[in-house]
Structure 1
Amino acid sequence: MAYQVLALKYRPQTFDEVVGQSHVTTTLSNAISQDRVAHAMLFTGPRGTGKTTIARILAKAMNCKKGSSPLPCNTCKICRDIIEGHCADVFEIDGASNNSVDQIRDLRENVIYMPSSAKYKIYIIDEVHMLSTAAFNALLKTLEEPPDHVMFIFATTEVHKIPATILSRCQRHDLGRISLALISNHLQHLCEKEGFSVETQSLDLISQEADGSIRDALSLLDRVLSSADTREIKHKRILDGLGILDHETLHDISSAIFKKNGARLIEIIEKVNAAGIDLKKYYSDLILHFRNLNIIKICGKDSPVANITDSEKEKIFQAVSMFSSGFINTLLQVLLTEESIVKYSSHTKTAIEMVLLKLLQINSGAQINQIIDKLDILANKIDSKLSYGRQNLEPVKKKDSKSPPANYSTDIQAVREPDTASGYNTGQDALRINKNIPDEKTWNNFLKKIEQKLPFMFALLSKGFIKEKDNGEIIVDLKNCSSFDKKRLESKKPELQKLCKEFLGKKLIFNIVSEKNKFAKNENEKNEKKARQAAFNHPLVVEAQKMFNGRIINY
């Protein structure tokens, strides 16, 4: 028998053997057990994640001679024919080469015929997004209402290219990328079956290169095993066989950037170029490396977001612990910004060197943090000296100190901070100076007293605030107060004074002013002053002053 590559030799034959897609296989198994399998299914996901494999297992499960079961026997004639790919009732169609409307019309004409030996006639169309628009339109009616003996299974890597009319007629299942740990464990299991001994770090490296595709991982492993001359394969042999560099060089680059060592950066790039590595691919790996640095710095070394081994997570965590996340993020941002220059440059090596040397000009977050710490220490020292100076400062004695008048009263408490949420302002600055003004609590209680007897007055006074004071007067400033409101307040002024006397025990005068009237008064004063100044500067007045050698003493 001809040699089979690992991807075909160890292709899963049951749902339980599928790696990393339990959310899909469990759903399909339950649907088969409950006889709730849809007549049209769509499997979508990255390459090499098991779309076509699951489609074949589903075809076996539905057509197995031992009855529809989530676990096909894989021994009956139908199962064996499907595994070998020549079952007369299971059609695997390549959507890329069978994408015309005429071929879909032929398919539509053939679906009416009953299966020859199996229970269902199943059409598996791979890369279905490659069908033309006319082909999709020709398939719509048949896809929506197929015969009872027909099933359609579609597989695609680009689901966004499929028309919405097709998507709405299919039961969709999304397959995700397979984690590094699952791929590495699967490769270890296959190596043991094949009788090879491969180091764990080598399998991890292959898994990282596969980028979540188990088929790509198997292809790389097949290449490694084929090039081996012994059953024990060293890590260096795998690096040479795959034509890739160890990820240690990526750590060397990040370390040189952190240490501001430009010479070391140029040496590493020269080494990579001499090894015949694709520099553009290496630059892409460098971006992913700094992405992992950024993820570990932000999320921690236990985060599953970074698809790398635990040992590498620990190594990265130690490397970035001395730097801020902003610094790492800035490095990654520069690498992404300059990617187009590297991609389209005819001098790729020089372009990469230029980008890496540019990274050396970025100040690290650790330096910024040190500056901030030093500023905090300096600020604390200055503050302590100022506090010491204030403590030793002697108060200035007034020459003409006068005792307070006999009628001076200190009955009113000191006023606290004004309550801006209460709807009015009690004039914080004014109340600090004159202790005759009632405190905030007393003023609020006074307003409540007014609310009980004069609700209209309460509504107006609540909108105002104590703006200034002089000689025991409380001036309530009312902005946007109408003339009608002002008249009402003026009419109730005696009653307000009486309530104030009863409640506060002091004779406080309410001088209710309007901001609008006050502004008008100021304008009048300004206009009058301008008119007088113009009169003083009149030529006749000036000439009279010169003639009589006089000056204006009254005006």
Structure 2
Amino acid sequence: MSYQVLARKYRPQKFSDVVGQDHITTTLKNAIKSGRLHHAYMFTGARGIGKTTVARILAKALNCFSPVDAEPCGECQNCREITSGTLMDVQEIDGASNNSVDAVREISERVRYMPSSAKYKIYIVDEVHMLSTSAFNALLKTLEEPPAHVIFMFATTESHKIPATILSRCQRYDFRRIPSTLIAKELSRIAGNEGVKVDDSALRIIAHEATGSLRDAESLFDQAIAFSGDEITSEVIGRMLGTLDRKRLYGFLSAVMNRDSASALSLLEDAYRFGIDLVRFAVEILELIRHMLVISECKGDSKGIDLPPDEVAMLVKLVSGRASEEMLGMFNVWYRIAEDVSRSAFPKMLLEIGVMRMVRASDVKNIGEILARIDDIVSPGARRQVKDSAIPVQAPSTSKKSPEQAAALKFEPASSSSSPSDGGGGRWLEFMRWVSIQRPQIASILQNGVFVGIDGSLVKLSFNNMLYADMLTEEDRKKQLDDLMEKFFKNKMSVIVGVISDDSSGPDAARRKRDMMREALGNDIVKKTADILNARIHDVKVEGEDH
């Protein structure tokens, strides 16, 4: 007898043999026991996870002469003929090659006749999404009111391509990807039956490569047996698949995170020399960084990570003491690297440069903490709370705010009578924020001006556009502004407005630019802010100017 591949040899013959689809097999068994059978079933899901297999088992269970607990006996004539594919009353049709209207019409003609030897006449249509639109339309009437002795079973990997009119006439079952642990367990059982010696790490690699498909895992295992004989190790699987040993992957990741470029580049060179697929290598590193980000965000919880416990423990150790922002930054950088590598004719060079970028990247700081420190420098007297990256809104907003939001943004006026005679910059900024809550319309005008300074009780503002200066000097609006300043500063204040000259070139403009740069470089607030951001002053620009 010719050799039978493992995927066919160990194909489940009963509901209890199906791996990882208990939510479906239990429902179908209960339906058989209670007699609540539907006339059409739609099985959807990824490849190799049991859709067609379950359809065959269901066909056997419905036509079995002596079922046991809704399971087919596997011994009667109907069970044997369905297994071998020779029972006339159970037709398995390939939707890809029988997708025409004529093929569907032929089925519609056949369903009128009673089954020859079975209880039900069953049509299993695989890859049903390949049927043409006309074929689906021809099937509608038959599918809606089929004879009592006919049951349709459809299997598809792309349910979104099936018309809603078809889906609504079927009972739908969504198959899940099979967890790696269950795939490894099933492969271990097969290995025992086949007399093959295989270590657990090799099984885990195969299960991981199968991405939830048991059929793919069985095919890879078949290939591994052919490649190495009766003894399979993780090193053998790595050579066969062109993947790097898992320990080396974690070693590479550890070297990058510890800023050890020499070790990281050495491991990358080893991977290249061993003939490892560098695109696959980049994707595997990206997956590990994703897992680390999940562990960091979920405070060590690894429920969303389909890895063995020892690998999860290694990831937890790598993440320990590191902020989520660092993991997110690593993921963003490596994602771009992996994307570029997949399209490049020089993947090794791109990976090497990527490693150096990752190693040289500075530690990521929490943006909320940075902004809080800067705000404390700019307005140390302001009593407020900073949560994460939220800071008081400087730009005026006309949207309606809840009392809670307004309270979070509010800056209370000074508690004692004083005028901002210390240059006025910090207190004027506080006033602007306060006005944006109290009088957004006035704040929107002030935002277009440039604060010049304070002379006694006079606040000097300059505008590029005369329109805003005129608006601010209107009697009613000026009175409102004077009242607001008196309320905030606890002192009578007035505003003097002027218009900035349009002459932005020539010696005067250059001198003004130099003076502003000198003033900015000598300002304590600017110095401290630049120190926090690890930055340097590149240019000085007057707020409101377009150049």
Give your verdict on TM over 0.5: yes
What are the equivalent positions in structure 2 for 1:5-84 lying under 5 Å apart?
5-66=5-66, 70-84=70-84
Q: Residues 168-203 of structure 1, C-alpha deviation per residue, up to 9 Å, x if partnerless? A: 111100111111111111111221122222111111
The CA distance in 2 between the partners of 1:519 and 1:223, in whole Å, is: 87
Q: Please say if residues 61 and 68 of structure 1, whose CA atoms lie closer than 8 Å, have aligned partners that are also in contact.
A: no
- Cα deviation for residue 232 of structure 1 reads 3.8
- Cα deviation for residue 88 of structure 1 reads 1.0
Q: Residues 5-50 of structure 1, C-alpha deviation per residue, up to 9 Å, x if partnerless? A: 1111111111111111100111101111111111101111111111
> Greater CA deviation, 328-337 or 155-164?
328-337
Distance 1:356 1:5, change over 3 A: same
Distance 1:430 1:263, change over 3 A: closer
The CA distance in 2 between the partners of 1:318 and 1:75, in whole Å, is: 54
- In the alignment, which residue of structure 1 is the partner of 2:352? 353
The CA distance in 2 between the partners of 1:122 and 1:355, in whole Å, is: 57
Aligned: 1:139 with 2:139: yes
SS of 1:281's partner is helix
What are the equivalent positions in structure 2 for 1:388-537 lying under 5 Å apart?
none
Q: Residues 193-247 of structure 1, C-alpha deviation per residue, up to 9 Å, x if partnerless? A: 2222211111111111111111111111112222334x44333233223433212
What are the equivalent positions in structure 2 for 1:311-390 lying under 5 Å apart?
311-365=310-364
The CA distance in 1 between the partners of 2:363 and 2:184, in whole Å, is: 36
Q: Please say if residues 279 and 338 of structure 2, whose CA atoms lie closer than 8 Å, have aligned partners that are also in contact.
A: no
Aligned: 1:113 with 2:98: no
The alignment's C-alpha RMSD in Å is 3.2
User: 2:222 is matched by which residue type in structure 1?
Assistant: D
- In the alignment, which residue of structure 2 is the partner of 1:530? none
- In the alignment, which residue of structure 1 is the partner of 2:217? 217
- In the alignment, which residue of structure 2 is the partner of 1:454? none
The CA distance in 2 between the partners of 1:68 and 1:135, in whole Å, is: 38
- Cα deviation for residue 368 of structure 1 reads 7.1
Q: Please say if residues 327 and 363 of structure 1, whose CA atoms lie closer than 8 Å, have aligned partners that are also in contact.
A: no
Q: Residues 286-313 of structure 1, C-alpha deviation per residue, up to 9 Å, x if partnerless? A: 2212111212222244422101000000
Distance 1:68 1:96, change over 3 A: farther
Task: Tell me which structure has the larger Cα radius of gyration.
Answer: 1
Q: Please say if residues 56 and 82 of structure 1, whose CA atoms lie closer than 8 Å, have aligned partners that are also in contact.
A: yes
- In the alignment, which residue of structure 1 is the partner of 2:164? 164
Q: Please say if residues 122 and 150 of structure 2, whose CA atoms lie closer than 8 Å, have aligned partners that are also in contact.
A: yes
After the TM superposition, which parts of structure 1 deviate over 4 Å for at least 4 consecutive aligned residues?
427-431
Distance 1:356 1:87, change over 3 A: farther
User: 1:175 is matched by which residue type in structure 2?
Assistant: F
The CA distance in 1 between the partners of 2:6 and 2:130, in whole Å, is: 28
Q: Residues 239-286 of structure 1, C-alpha deviation per residue, up to 9 Å, x if partnerless? A: 223433212232122112112233333332322222222222222222
Q: Please say if residues 301 and 314 of structure 1, whose CA atoms lie closer than 8 Å, have aligned partners that are also in contact.
A: no
Distance 1:105 1:519, change over 3 A: same
SS of 1:360's partner is helix
- In the alignment, which residue of structure 2 is the partner of 1:245? 244
What are the equivalent positions in structure 2 for 1:115-130 lying under 5 Å apart?
115-130=115-130
Query: Unpaired segments of 5 or more residues in structure 2?
Result: 381-405, 408-412, 418-474, 484-547
Distance 1:428 1:289, change over 3 A: closer
Q: Please say if residues 91 and 124 of structure 1, whose CA atoms lie closer than 8 Å, have aligned partners that are also in contact.
A: yes
> Greater CA deviation, 178-187 or 280-289?
280-289
The CA distance in 2 between the partners of 1:101 and 1:280, in whole Å, is: 44
The CA distance in 2 between the partners of 1:217 and 1:354, in whole Å, is: 35
The CA distance in 1 between the partners of 2:66 and 2:124, in whole Å, is: 22
SS of 1:98's partner is coil
Q: Please say if residues 324 and 364 of structure 1, whose CA atoms lie closer than 8 Å, have aligned partners that are also in contact.
A: no
What are the equivalent positions in structure 2 for 1:265-280 lying under 5 Å apart?
265-280=264-279
Q: Residues 307-331 of structure 1, C-alpha deviation per residue, up to 9 Å, x if partnerless? A: 1000000011001113111111111
- In the alignment, which residue of structure 1 is the partner of 2:302? 303
User: 1:211 is matched by which residue type in structure 2?
Assistant: T
The CA distance in 1 between the partners of 2:242 and 2:337, in whole Å, is: 26
User: 1:41 is matched by which residue type in structure 2?
Assistant: Y
The CA distance in 1 between the partners of 2:115 and 2:272, in whole Å, is: 59
- In the alignment, which residue of structure 1 is the partner of 2:285? 286
Q: Residues 123-152 of structure 1, C-alpha deviation per residue, up to 9 Å, x if partnerless? A: 111111111111111111111111111111
The CA distance in 2 between the partners of 1:33 and 1:368, in whole Å, is: 59
SS of 1:184's partner is helix
- Cα deviation for residue 69 of structure 1 reads 5.7
TM-score by length of 2: 0.66
Q: Residues 497-540 of structure 1, C-alpha deviation per residue, up to 9 Å, x if partnerless? A: xxxxxxxxxxxxxxxxxx98x959x99xxxxxxxxxxxxxxxxx
The CA distance in 2 between the partners of 1:228 and 1:428, in whole Å, is: 81
SS of 1:139's partner is helix
SS of 2:122's partner is strand
- In the alignment, which residue of structure 2 is the partner of 1:262? 261
Identity rate, percent: 46
The CA distance in 2 between the partners of 1:368 and 1:301, in whole Å, is: 20
Q: Please say if residues 123 and 153 of structure 2, whose CA atoms lie closer than 8 Å, have aligned partners that are also in contact.
A: yes
The CA distance in 2 between the partners of 1:364 and 1:206, in whole Å, is: 36
> Greater CA deviation, 294-303 or 250-259?
294-303
The CA distance in 1 between the partners of 2:299 and 2:219, in whole Å, is: 33
Q: Please say if residues 202 and 232 of structure 2, whose CA atoms lie closer than 8 Å, have aligned partners that are also in contact.
A: no
SS of 1:47's partner is coil
- In the alignment, which residue of structure 1 is the partner of 2:2? 2
Aligned residues: 390
- Cα deviation for residue 54 of structure 1 reads 0.5
The CA distance in 2 between the partners of 1:320 and 1:40, in whole Å, is: 50
Distance 1:209 1:106, change over 3 A: same
Distance 1:346 1:235, change over 3 A: closer
Q: Please say if residues 198 and 233 of structure 1, whose CA atoms lie closer than 8 Å, have aligned partners that are also in contact.
A: yes
The CA distance in 2 between the partners of 1:283 and 1:170, in whole Å, is: 42
Q: Please say if residues 206 and 217 of structure 1, whose CA atoms lie closer than 8 Å, have aligned partners that are also in contact.
A: yes
- In the alignment, which residue of structure 2 is the partner of 1:101? 101
Aligned: 1:184 with 2:190: no
- Cα deviation for residue 68 of structure 1 reads 8.9
The CA distance in 2 between the partners of 1:51 and 1:302, in whole Å, is: 32
Q: Residues 321-370 of structure 1, C-alpha deviation per residue, up to 9 Å, x if partnerless? A: 131111111111222234432222222222233333322243235x879x
User: 1:298 is matched by which residue type in structure 2?
Assistant: E
User: 2:205 is matched by which residue type in structure 1?
Assistant: L
TM-score by length of 1: 0.65
- Cα deviation for residue 90 of structure 1 reads 1.0
The CA distance in 1 between the partners of 2:362 and 2:136, in whole Å, is: 56
SS of 2:160's partner is helix
SS of 2:305's partner is coil
